[in-house]
Amino acid sequence: MNNKNVLLLKTLLRSTSSFNVLKTSKDSKKKGKIIGTFIAYILLYLMLLAYSVLMAMGYGRAGLTEAMPMLLTMILTALAFLFTLLKSNSYLYGFKEYDMLMAMPFSEKAVVGSKFLYMYIKSLPWYLTISIAMLIGYAMYAKPMIAVYPLWIVLSLFIPVIPMLVASLLSYIVVKISAAFKYWKAVQAVLLFAVIILSFFSRFFIEKIIKDDSIDEVLTSTASFTEGFEKIYLPAKWFREGATELKISGIFLLVGVSILLFELIFILVARSYKRLNSAMKTSVARHAYKLTKQKKKSVARTMAFKEIKRFTGSIPYLTNAGAGYVMAIGVGIAALFVGLDKIIGTVTSGAPVSGDMVKVAIPFIAYFLTGMVALTCASPSLEGKNYWIIKSLPMSYKDIYYGKILANLYISIPAQLIATIGMCIGGKCGVAETIGYIILGITLCVFSATFGCECGIRFMKLDWENDVEVVKQGTAVVVYMFPNMILTIAMLIGSVILSMIIGKALVIVAAILIYCLLTAVCMMRVMALAKRR
């Protein structure tokens, strides 16, 4: 990297750093908000660290100490690949300051390479937290040499590079294919969804390859699991050899291949970078509209329409928030053909549960996908610089947020219904039972939209550069996701256990009542927060 590339990378990091604003801003309210967000992130990192240390200790106790380097590689690889796939598109192409940078004396490779490194550095704290936690667990059980500690940390910084590069390459292929089409946004969204879903389900295929390789061993066997993964993913072997066996070859291979791949991929991307961005940054206007009969809608419905157009018009928003809905629909359709047992068997990797035991969990399984992200978490912040439009129009705060909740429901309820009905038919549930699951599913969707809205308003951030900052990295999304996920898992397990004691019907009614109550509480908070805004 030459000096100008370093300068560009430094400026990119500085330009999105809250510390710079903290240092230079005179706005005390803004400073307070930055400090609050910083503390929230520290707490999140500590929670992740504690969780990961416990996980590593669990592996150690289970006799998987030797497999820990490989497990770390596996976790970081999966996270880096999936997260990059979801965000690289908007980080690398068609970004806001593209014109400004491209008009300066920077090469295409310098611009796209710096953007990649920026994306990598921004996600490093998450990966480093997991790496440190795994090292603590490893150190407790393996008692390694002193040299292992720095090497583990340094080499683990390279683990996410290769999966991130592969994801960026996939993203480049998607952009390149879609750029040739007139409706490139639609093509790009479809291709991205396909890649995301394939990547998500590839986990099962990889597991199968690893399992098939071992003859008598089960998944928990350290040797077979390590060997299996290392066979299909060499960087895992290089990391293990470099970090724990201090083999120079492992160190050189991991670092060297990462750098070489970076160079090769960005030479390739840079060759058509301007052409791809030209296609993405220019919009074709047909100028052929003829005014026809217009319809009047209620304020909430017209707000909902605006929200849906915002959702479908932004690829990062659509792919990040929409992946769960598409997967829910996929699961519903798949259940029709392969049955509920097969789906549950695949998800639980052959754990001793039968379809009948978990039928009561159907709405929660569907909700796990449809409620993974709520559009309402992001939609208040996504108003961004357009916030003045809704604020200056004569509409009440109630209509604004009812509209946002309604838009969320227009999208989440159909996906929830398809998934639930598909699984009910696949699981041969009775009509009354299916109706119960449908009502519970709808209640869950309403709760998700309302709770999401509460988080969205509470952590509203209007000054952002890229949709991804709100949709993927926004505090509102993180604050929504964790409690919602924990509550869903608790309700899922609780429902399965309770249904065996008090029966499914009572469990469904109780769950509906609990979620109605939670929704009412969230709605009151939404209105109180909205009034203050």
- Provide the binding-site residues for other proteins, judged by CB under 8 A: 4, 7-8, 11, 14-18, 20-21, 24-27, 96-100, 102-107, 179-182, 184, 274-275, 278-279, 281-282, 284-285, 287, 463, 465
Report the nearest approach of other proteins to the CB of residue 85 (Å): 25
The two most distant CA atoms of the chain are separated, in Å, by 77
Structure-block tokens of residue 66 = 């030797």
Q: Where are the alpha helices (DSSP H) in 233-339?
A: 234-244, 248-271, 273-281, 299-313, 315-338
Question: Smallest Cα–Cα separation from 239: which of 220, 262, 257, 221?
Answer: 257
Q: How far apart are CA 320 and CA 311, in angstroms?
A: 10
Question: Smallest Cα–Cα separation from 485: which of 405, 371, 377?
Answer: 371
Considering beta carbons, is residue 100 or 351 the nearer one to other proteins? 100
Considering beta carbons, is residue 97 or 356 the nearer one to other proteins? 97
Report the nearest approach of other proteins to the CB of residue 464 (Å): 9
Specify the amino acid at residue 125.
Answer: P
Report the nearest approach of other proteins to the CB of residue 142 (Å): 43
Helix axes 3-15, 108-142, angle to 10 degrees: 70
Report the nearest approach of other proteins to the CB of residue 282 (Å): 7
Please report where in the chains the tokens 């695949």 appear, as a residue: 346
Please report where in the chains the tokens 């696949």 appear, as a residue: 426
Considering beta carbons, is residue 22 or 527 the nearer one to other proteins? 22
CA 207 to chain centre: 21
Q: Are 419 and 330 in contact (CB under 8 A)?
A: no
Q: Are 106 and 1 in contact (CB under 8 A)?
A: no
Report the nearest approach of other proteins to the CB of residue 280 (Å): 11
Helix axes 68-92, 28-61, angle to 10 degrees: 150
> What single string gives the DSSP state of each residue in 357-368?
TTGGGHHHHHHH
Report the nearest approach of other proteins to the CB of residue 178 (Å): 10
| Long-range contacts of residues 100-104, Cβ cutoff 8 Å, at least 24 apart | 101/8, 102/274, 102/277
Q: How far apart are CA 334 and CA 485, in angstroms?
A: 23
Report the nearest approach of other proteins to the CB of residue 335 (Å): 39
Report the nearest approach of other proteins to the CB of residue 267 (Å): 16
Considering beta carbons, is residue 4 or 247 the nearer one to other proteins? 4
Report the nearest approach of other proteins to the CB of residue 180 (Å): 7
Question: Smallest Cα–Cα separation from 459: which of 402, 515, 382?
Answer: 382
Report the nearest approach of other proteins to the CB of residue 292 (Å): 22
Name the burial class of residue 408, with classes exposed (0-12), middle (13-18) and buried (19+) by CB atoms within 10 angstroms of its CB.
Answer: buried
